Amino acid sequence: MDVFLWVIVPYLCLATFVVGHFWRYRYDKFGWTTRSSQLYEDRLLRLGSPLFHFGMLGVVGGHVLGLLVPQSWTDALGVSHETYHVVAVIGGLVAGLMAVVGMAILIYRRRTVGPVFSATTVMDKVMYAFLAVVIVLGMWNTIAGSILTVGGEYNYREGVSVWYRSFLAFQPDASLMADAPIGFQLHALVAFGLFALWPFTRLVHVFSAPVGYLTRPYIVYRSRDPKLGSRRQRRGWERVG
Amino acid sequence: MSNEPGMDGSLTDALVRSRRYFTRRGEVSDDLRTLTRTGGRQADDFYRDRWSHDKVVRSTHGVNCTGSCSWKVYVKDGIITWETQQTDYPSVGPDKPEYEPRGCPRGAAFSWYTYSPTRVRYPYVRGVLLDMYREGKRQHGDPVAAWAHVVDHPQRARAYKAARGKGGLVRATWDEAVEMVAAAYVHTIKKWGPDRVAGFSPIPAMSMVSHASGARFTSLVGGSMLSFYDWYADLPVASPQMFGDQTDVPESGDWWDAGYLVMWGSNVPVTRTPDAHWMTEARYRGQKVVVVSPDYADNVKFADEWLAVAPGTDGALAMAMGHVVLKEFFVDRQTPYFTDYTKRYTDLPYLVTLDAVGDAHRPGKFLTAADLLTHEDVENAHFKPVLLDGRSGEPVVPNGALGHRFGETGAGRWNLDLGDVDPLLSLLEPGAESVLVELPRFDHVDGTPGSLRRAVPVRQVGDRLVTTVFDLMLAQYGVGRDGLAGDYASSYDDATAPYTPAWQEAVTGVPAAAAARIAREFARNAEESRGRSMILMGAGTNHWFHSDTIYRAFLGLTTLTGCQGVNGGGWAHYVGQEKCRPITGWAQLAFGLDWKRPPRQMIHTAYWYLHTDQFRYDTFSADTVAAATGTGRLAGLSTADVIAKSARMGWMPSYPTFDRNPLDLADEANESGRPVAEHVVDRLRDGSLRFAAEDPDAPENFPRVLAIWRANLLGSSGKGNEYFLKHLLGTDSSLRATEAGESQRPRDVVWHDEAPDGKLDLLLSLDFRQTSTTVFSDVVLPAATWYEKHDLNTTDMHPFVHSFNPAIAPPWQTRTDWDAWQTIATKFSELAAGHLGTRTDVVAVPLLHDTPDAMANPHGVVRDWKLGECDPVPGVTMPKIVTVERDYAAVGDQMQALGPLLDKLGTTTKGVTYDVTASIDYLRAKNGTVRGGAAAGRPSLARDVHACEAILALSGTTNGHLATQGFKTLEMRTGTALHDLAAEHEGKQITFADTQAAPVPVITSPEWSGSETGGRRYSPFTINVERLKPWHTLTGRQHFYLDHDWITELGESLPVYRPPLNMGALFAEPELGSTGELGVTLRYLTPHNKWSIHSEYQDNLFMLALSRGGQTIWMSDRDAAKVGVQDNDWIEAVNRNGVVVARAIVSHRMPEGTVYMHHAQDRLIDVPIAETSGKRGGIHNSLTRILVKPSHLIGGYAQLAFAFNYLGPTGNQRDEVTVIRKRSQEVTY
């Protein structure tokens, strides 16, 4: 059972995530979109969207720090467990709260604003459900696990994080997860579910975030390619000039 | 702080400057505004590919929308991708807008059909029929015997007829389907006769070759082609009545020339979408636009003024406007332009005899030369009406009458030249004698006819008391003058006297002051601009039972004010795509006139009135619509009796004609050794031969085979849909009406106790999409679309002829109509060789317009030989009896070649005969000649392109030689100069290649009454007005007065107001506006749709998305509230004719008391089961039925004579009412 939950399922989800994106990009380029609803409503969006998105950036950064950086590295840098803990909890709380509040606004908006709700697909609804559950569980882990220490203290950096890195290294150690508290287990499982759904939802826009716009002038001139025309040269036809 | 202009701010600048730390790609300009990169344009591929096509092909849509828009069809990798508007229409000149852009969202959605789920891809046959046919073929071996095996066996016939419309169409091969169809034709012709075979395809102008394909086959085998114009109720009967011409109207570019435009019953932005721009543009030139419409229609928003008239009462408003025009522009003040115009171009100065009846007089017949001692011996004296010369006071017989059109003495005198004569308009002068005339009125609230007495000035001519039409007109309109007694109106405010503005206010709801003002403005503009006031009219005012009276009131306005025959003026009647500009060439091909004459052409409305047994449900007699001033000429007759009477008198065509096979009739005559006509007359006299119309329910008189192509009879035009389903097809229906009781039944027409069901043996349809017609058909053949064939297209709306071309070859197993009918003809001939061979056919031909037949009934006096009022004389008092030899085994060959009759007889259109031998030689070279067979040496018509070339070469509008030749021929009759009108194009032959390159303007030709000479905009009757060519009427002028017996009987000798029929009184429907247990009773109108063209496009994915989709009924918020209906609720509309389930569209745009169900929404999209019937919930025509107006059946008299789609009873449907209620919102299918 542990192997199924913490080895088979995660890899299946990861595979779906990777292959799914490839498929989506290959066959649905015109559907690769945020499905923006700004046209239908913008007052709530203006509040909810930045809150959620910047909150999520923090959350993702926290996860990178927590999951990918081994405890030995921070120890080596001389960061004490307590310091790390305080930074993580405070950062996590702030980012998490932003994400939760932003998400609440967005979901409220999506349900109550008619045109926006009409533009909501079934896939959107499923995705929102997963996203909400993942975030709430994450918050729960932060608040209940790290601050209130409900059910005893758990250092995820010695359990979940290690398992996660072993998973990424393709040498998964299921027992590490099996021993984790139920909150972390659920959070991880639902998160993998979300990853599996990812390529089939509007979440693909994460990979098209227009980061370059930050530094790009508004006007872009593109000269012709050195090769003539933009199309591949066809068999039997020789370019002139 | 730098003064240099920067970007948004220092942060942005800093970010852009930091770019070089992240990426080396591209170079940022010094001012930080632009980034320059090399390459990276792969994304361009997308839009380049999007607009790169393998080819772009010109084509159009054959959909009877009148748009006739040329389109570019784009093809990529062999797939039609989309279409866009063509922009290469020839310019109309430097001082006007252009014809482009032409095209609407419906046309732009057409390519969807090519690959749509509704496409008919393969031949389909009703499964149960196919099984039995195959069984028959196994037993008998012979296809004809196999068909007989099925249809002549009552149980088998019942089995497949009852299955119609219930699915079960299975795929068949072309070979098998065509063999079965051919066998059905052979069997029917052999057993029942060729006139038991019929074809229906409307509107040749929308695709002439496709129309001609099946029409040619039907005509060559001797079948009847069913008319469409009258059947659609688009035919304005007032046009033949007044003009002796049918629907000659201005092109839309001529709207620009108008100074005053009234849109009256035509919703231009919706139904003339590509032409609407002319109307909006002309307003910027100072044109005033007035809309008369019961609802807040789309065109209302363009109007300077909106007159919201009660539905169907338009005639009352027009009569009141006529009252104002006559009063202010003829009586109070004489308007020289109007007076001159009406004297020369109308019958106003002509003399009408007055007959004493009791203490009053009634207007009778026109005084003619035959009534004058000095003239009584002249040729055709009865057809030369008389007027008084104002100078001498003596009666004169002006040139240009019908009597001059035919006969030797008329040569050179059929013109409107009055010489020195100054016609006297009115006989009123100091001391003039006057008498009271009794005039009919129909405006009583309860609908009973009444009468009025008004005095007119009179004079004695010989032994006749006469007055002028003008004096009668003033009396009719109620415009009094000093010294004339009677019920004249005291003023405009006299609400009791027809036809004052105050009187109309009570009828129409339009304020009296507004009616008077608009009338005054209309006439004033006409006076100042010399006739540039126009009324744009259409279905909204033309689809009523009494629309002929509505239109005569309209045309009264345009004619009194001198607007007819003037650019920018007159009537602009737009209904269907009527104008087949190369009409002569098309007619030769379509009716096989190059091989056999005459063809059988039937009035469609009467055909279905009888054959769908709607006559059995008529519970009132024909004289219900007679006037109080009538003399009982229609008393005791049912409408079916009137049809039978009209048929046997030769007025209107009647097919099937006799109660036996005309082929057998010929054999019979042959055996008797007497000429066929004599034999027929004898047999009719002794009663052993009868007209089929006198017993339409006898099996030998059923229509047996019906082919439908380019049409959707059962989804669009079939008034009385449930009657069709029950009696014609023999399948389930929701008919709720009860048959006439014994006292209400026909007198002459035979009544069968049991009404027959399932009269039709074969319903064949050819279509590219599934429709309400195909689902009821026995055989469906897959047709090519408008993007898959060659054809020609013209319209009333613009003066160009342009082409269809195949963007792709017909996909799957589809074939062009031309191909399909050639295939059927070839197979037919193969089977006919053994079964039919060469036979003689007896064709009964009605008395025809534009021929001497129009002089068969002097003074329009009814003489029925059957009642002993005269002898049956073919061609005079009964139809002409003509024999035609048909070599049935040669029909296949005849289809594919232009026949030899053209060399001998030439072509004839509207009385002008053309010598086409030069065109035949040209076609030999152009198309090649046929080798071998029955058509050896003749020009080929094997391919659709050949047919296109033949149409273009044989018509004056597209062949300059023929146009000039025709005018020269006409000159011999008129004695006036005409041929210069076409001389500028004498050497021009428009070829099919020309029409492929761009739309080509047509040549001025005697086929039409207007002129395009010198590139002017087309307006009808300009040749009549400018060149003094007579109209094709009794006087040769435009007629306000009609003196036929039946017209007089109906009280319609002069323009008159007749309200919509009272369905409560006629059919015991609940009273209009009443709310009962079953719902609210409302007027039920079926106007044209914004999101479809008839039934086309309403099933198109794009149009379904744009509109609400599925069947809908528009109702006002007030009516909806009465029965608790809210927008989008499911409702049921029920009357005696059937049931419709639809969604309600509740809108305050609608007037209270009236609902609209856009016509032809078809039964294929979202039609649930009705609660009322338990059957599928019907279509718009489930609530309508055919009502025939007796006066439409008049024939054989001057302009009131039959020609195909020129005159016939209209299939009107607007007088209907329905009960509407909310139904369970849970619907099942």
Q: Closest Cα partner for B808 from B115, B79, B63?
A: B79
* A215, A219, A230 ranked by CB distance to B44: nearest: A230
Q: What is the mean pLDDT of residues B318-344?
A: 98
Using the 8-state DSSP alphabet, how is residue B1151 labeled? P
DSSP E strand boundaries for B783-887: 791-793, 800-804, 838-845, 880-887
Closest residue of chain B to A228, computed from CA coordinates: B39
For residue B143, which phi and psi values (nearest 5 degrees)?
Answer: -60, -40
In this structure, are B445 and B523 located in the same domain?
no
pLDDT in tens, B1014-1066: 989 999 999 999 999 999 999 999 999 999 999 999 999 999 999 999 999 99
CA distance B516 to B523: 11
Residues of A in contact with B35 (CB under 8 A): 216-217, 219-221
Closest-CA distance, A124 to chain B, in angstroms, reads 23
In this structure, are B923 and B997 located in the same domain?
yes
Q: Which of residues 172-231 of A touch B (CB under 8 A)?
A: 212, 214-226, 230-231
Task: Please count the structural domains in chain B.
Answer: 4
In this structure, are B436 and B297 located in the same domain?
no
CA B1008 from chain centre, in angstroms, equals 17
Reported confidence tier of residue A84, pLDDT bands at 50, 70, 90:
confident
Residue B460: domain span:
348-490
Residue B375 lies in a domain: yes
Percent of residues in chain B assigned helix, strand, coil, to nearest 5 = 35, 20, 45
Contact between residue B1115 and residue B1125 where contact means Cβ atoms under 8 Å apart: yes
Task: Give the model's pLDDT for residue B771.
Answer: 97
Compute the count of residue pairs across chains A and B with CB atoms less than 8 Å apart.
57
* A217, A226, A231 ranked by CB distance to B33: nearest: A217
Residues of A in contact with B33 (CB under 8 A): 217-219
In CATH, what number is assigned to the domain containing residue A13? 1.20.950.20
Task: Give the model's pLDDT for residue B718.
Answer: 96
Q: Which two tokens mark B534? A: 């126009």
Strands B533-538 and B260-264: parallel
For residue B296, which phi and psi values (nearest 5 degrees)?
Answer: -80, 80
Task: Show the 3-state SS of B629-685.
Answer: CCCCCCCCCCHHHHHHHHHHCCCCCCCCCECCCHHHHHHHHHHHCCCHHHHHHHHHH
Residue A145 lies in a domain: yes
In this structure, are B1077 and B1167 located in the same domain?
yes
Q: What is the mean pLDDT of residues B428-444?
A: 94
pLDDT in tens, B1129-1165: 999 999 999 999 999 999 999 999 999 999 999 999 9
Residue B769 has pLDDT above 90, yes or no: yes
Bridge partners of B1082?
A: B1218
Task: Please count the structural domains in chain A.
Answer: 1
Strand arrangement, sheet containing B1000-1001: B791-793, B800-804, B1000-1001
pLDDT in tens, B944-990: 999 999 999 999 999 999 999 999 999 999 999 999 999 999 999 99
Which of residues B975, B1005, B1035 is at a domain's end? B1005
**Residue-wise DSSP of B681-723:** HHHHHHTSS-BGGG-TTSGGGS--EEEEES--IIIII-SSHHH
Dihedral of alpha carbons B1030, B1034, B1037, B1039, sign: negative
With an 8 Å Cβ cutoff, is A30 touching chain B? no
In this structure, are B373 and B273 located in the same domain?
no
Dihedral of alpha carbons A90, A91, A95, A98, sign: positive
Residue B105 lies in a domain: no
Least confident of B39-43, B407-411, B1139-1143, B1217-1221: B39-43
Binary contact (B41, A220; C-beta < 8 A): no
In this structure, are B1179 and B1089 located in the same domain?
yes
Binary contact (A222, B15; C-beta < 8 A): no
pLDDT in tens, A158-199: 888 888 888 888 888 888 888 888 888 888 889 999 999 999
CA distance B735 to B720: 9
Reported confidence tier of residue A236, pLDDT bands at 50, 70, 90:
confident
CA distance B349 to B345: 10
In this structure, are B468 and B373 located in the same domain?
yes
Residue of A32, A213, A215 to mutate, interface with B, max B Cβ within 10 Å: A215
Q: Which of A10-24, A56-70, B767-781 has the highest mean pLDDT?
A: B767-781
Q: Which two tokens mark B131? A: 């099984």
Q: Each residue of B985-997: b (16+ CB within 10 Å) or e? A: bbebbbbbebbbe
Residue B1227 lies in a domain: no
pLDDT in tens, B894-918: 999 999 999 999 999 999 999 999 9
Contact between residue B726 and residue B758 where contact means Cβ atoms under 8 Å apart: no
Task: Give the model's pLDDT for residue A68.
Answer: 86
Residue B1116 lies in a domain: yes
CA distance B1053 to B228: 27
Binary contact (B37, A219; C-beta < 8 A): no
pLDDT in tens, A134-166: 999 988 888 877 777 666 677 787 888 888 888
Residues 6+ apart with CB under 8 A from A72: none
Residues of B in contact with A217 (CB under 8 A): 7, 16, 28-29, 32-35
Q: What is the mean pLDDT of residues B355-359?
A: 93
Contact between residue B713 and residue B1161 where contact means Cβ atoms under 8 Å apart: no
CA distance B873 to B870: 9
Closest residue of chain B to A220, computed from CA coordinates: B35
Residue A216 has pLDDT above 70, yes or no: yes
Reported confidence tier of residue A230, pLDDT bands at 50, 70, 90:
low
Which of residues B529, B556, B574 is at a domain's end? B574
Residue A220 lies in a domain: no
Q: Which two tokens mark B426? A: 């009115």
Q: Closest Cα partner for B342 from B469, B466, B467?
A: B469
- Helix (H), strand (E) at residue B272: none
Q: What is the mean pLDDT of residues B86-105?
A: 93
Task: Give the model's pLDDT for residue B1.
Answer: 45
Residues of B in contact with A223 (CB under 8 A): 36-39
Residue A16: domain span:
2-214
CA distance B1001 to B984: 13
Least confident of A219-228, B329-338, B1200-1209: A219-228
Binary contact (B41, A224; C-beta < 8 A): yes
Give the number of other Cβ atoms within 10 Å of residue B117's Cβ.
8
Residues of A in contact with B34 (CB under 8 A): 217, 219-221
Query: Integer distance in angstroms from the first to the last C-alpha of chain B?
Result: 76
In this structure, are B549 and B401 located in the same domain?
no
In CATH, what number is assigned to the domain containing residue B1207? 2.40.40.20
CA angle at B245 for the pair B240 and B250, rounded to the nearest 5°: 120
In this structure, are B1077 and B1182 located in the same domain?
yes
Q: What is the mean pLDDT of residues B797-816?
A: 97
Task: Give the model's pLDDT for residue A1.
Answer: 78
Closest residue of chain A to B30, computed from CA coordinates: A217
Residue B400 lies in a domain: yes
Closest-CA distance, A61 to chain B, in angstroms, reads 21
| CB-based burial label for B447 (10 Å; 0-12, 13-18, 19+) | middle
For residue B1166, which phi and psi values (nearest 5 degrees)?
Answer: 55, 55
CA distance B153 to B151: 5
Residues of A in contact with B29 (CB under 8 A): 217
CA B177 from chain centre, in angstroms, equals 32
Task: Give the model's pLDDT for residue B1205.
Answer: 95
pLDDT in tens, B271-303: 999 999 999 999 999 999 999 999 999 999 999
Binary contact (B38, A220; C-beta < 8 A): no
Residues 6+ apart with CB under 8 A from B469: B346, B347, B348, B349, B350, B351, B352, B1040, B1041
Residues of B in contact with A32 (CB under 8 A): none
CA distance B594 to B613: 36
Reported confidence tier of residue B9, pLDDT bands at 50, 70, 90:
confident
CA distance A132 to B1196: 85
Mean pLDDT of chain B: 96
Residue A224 lies in a domain: no
Least confident of A104-108, A232-236, B254-258, B409-413: A232-236
CA distance A173 to B800: 82
Q: Which two tokens mark B1073? A: 């506006």
With an 8 Å Cβ cutoff, is B9 touching chain A? no
Residue A241 lies in a domain: no
Residue A226 has pLDDT above 80, yes or no: no
Q: What percent of chain B has pLDDT over 90?
A: 93
With an 8 Å Cβ cutoff, is B15 touching chain A? yes
Task: Give the model's pLDDT for residue B40.
Answer: 80
Which of residues B463, B490, B517 is at a domain's end? B490
Reported confidence tier of residue B224, pLDDT bands at 50, 70, 90:
very high
Contact between residue B611 and residue B694 where contact means Cβ atoms under 8 Å apart: no
pLDDT in tens, B714-734: 999 999 999 999 999 999 999
Binding annotation of A for heme b: 53, 63, 187, 205
Residue A164 lies in a domain: yes
Binary contact (B38, A217; C-beta < 8 A): no
Binary contact (B48, A225; C-beta < 8 A): no
| CB-based burial label for B667 (10 Å; 0-12, 13-18, 19+) | middle
CA dihedral B676, B677, B679, B680 (to 10 degrees): 110
Residue B1155 lies in a domain: yes
Reported confidence tier of residue B26, pLDDT bands at 50, 70, 90:
confident
In this structure, are B1098 and B959 located in the same domain?
no
Q: Closest Cα partner for B435 from B490, B362, B366, B379?
A: B362
Half-sphere exposure of A32 (CA within 13 A, CB side): 18
Residue A23 lies in a domain: yes
Task: Give the model's pLDDT for residue A227.
Answer: 67
Residue B1088 lies in a domain: yes
In this structure, are B525 and B462 located in the same domain?
no
Reported confidence tier of residue A241, pLDDT bands at 50, 70, 90:
low
CA distance B33 to B13: 9
In three-state secondary structure terms, B264 is: strand
Residue A75 has pLDDT above 90, yes or no: no
| CB-based burial label for A210 (10 Å; 0-12, 13-18, 19+) | exposed
Give the number of other Cβ atoms within 10 Å of residue A237's Cβ.
7
Closest-CA distance, A175 to chain B, in angstroms, reads 43
Instruction: Say what the pTM is.
Output: 0.89
Using the 8-state DSSP alphabet, how is residue B823 labeled? H
Residues of A in contact with B13 (CB under 8 A): none
Residue B446 has pLDDT above 80, yes or no: no
Binary contact (B18, A223; C-beta < 8 A): no
**Residue-wise DSSP of B299-321:** GGGG-SEEE-PPTT-HHHHHHHH
Residue A222 lies in a domain: no
With an 8 Å Cβ cutoff, is B24 touching chain A? no
Q: Which of residues 45-84 of B touch A (CB under 8 A)?
A: 45, 48
* B16, B40, B41 ranked by CB distance to A215: nearest: B16
In this structure, are B468 and B552 located in the same domain?
no
- B74 versus B12: the higher-pLDDT residue is B74
Closest residue of chain A to B37, computed from CA coordinates: A222
Closest-CA distance, A47 to chain B, in angstroms, reads 23
